[in-house]
A and B are shown apart, each in its own frame.
Chain A
Amino acid sequence: MNPPLTWYLLLAAALFAVGTYGLLTRRNAVAILLSIEIMANAVNVNLVAFSRFLNDLAGQVFTLFAISLTVAEVVVGLAIVVLLYRDRDDVRADLADRMRG
């Protein structure tokens, strides 16, 4: 017996909430990137679940696209983190506050 759609959606919502919480509370830039990754994958869970229950492959194809885009995003994000580290000898995102008013 397969679990119903609601469970997948609840899982995705829980992952998204965990990701958001991490995004807001973590100070380490790498941890923030990980949180973003969790949030993106929460969305991917949603897409795959709907694709499965609606019998529409477009959702799974879209998820593949999203995964590859996320990889690219992580590359850019890590590059920023590296630059930040070189600049400040630290990867705490709090310190990147040059735009303070």
Chain B
Amino acid sequence: MKRSLLVAFVGVLTVCAPALAHHGNAAYEDHWTEFKQVKVTKFAWANPHALIFFEVKDPQGKVVEWVAETAAPQALRLIGWHSTAIAPGDVISIFVYATKTGNPAGRLNRIFLADGTVLHDTQLGGDTGGGYRPQ
């Protein structure tokens, strides 16, 4: 079993999301969940928002594909993202505000790449991207 699939839920950290946001975030929990050393399956550098797909092993050992949304590419470029910032096969650690429905989806907080680079979300990642504001 690849290390990338040896995923641990480190626990839920009760860190509240910033109130300021482009859209409201009623669909998501107000605390993040960390997934350590997960494998990226797809990176959609797309509108309306970019998506990161990754594999998570649930407590029963079943591999589940999660998806985290972040901002639109033109906003992400401002805070150091690029279409090649993440690629399928990358092993990352990722913090996600999971959806309240229990489905494997959520809003990104931040990602740690294998080389230590940190990529933040614009609105819920503690980085305003130089001026990201509600529309």
Binding partners A and B: no
* B interface, CB within 8 angstroms of A: none
